[in-house]
Amino acid sequence: TQPLCFIDGSTHDMRIGYYRDTYSRTAEGWRLKTRAMTFIRRSGVHDSGRPHAIGRPTP
């Protein structure tokens, strides 16, 4: 797990969350296989952007 923090340059609004990575071992060494990003909302709810996430707008 790797933490992340995005800060808007003009408003200084901040979004925090984390990446969850999986790796694959190849003949050339370890390679990134998948990466999932999850934001942590102000309420403390973790939103990974999947359709089951509560409060996610319908496209």
Write b or e for each residue in 15-52: b if 16 or more Cβ atoms lie within 10 A of its Cβ, otherwise e: eebbeeeeeeeeeeeeeeeeeeebbeeeeeeebeeeee
Place of tokens 């808007």: 8
Q: How far apart are the first and last CA of the chain?
A: 29
Q: What is the pTM of this model?
A: 0.64
Distance of alpha carbon 9 from alpha carbon 35, whole angstroms: 25
Question: One digit per residue, pLDDT tens: the chain, 59 residues?
Answer: 899 999 999 999 999 999 999 999 999 999 999 988 999 988 988 888 766 555 655 65
pLDDT score of 47: 83
Distance of alpha carbon 20 from alpha carbon 37, whole angstroms: 6
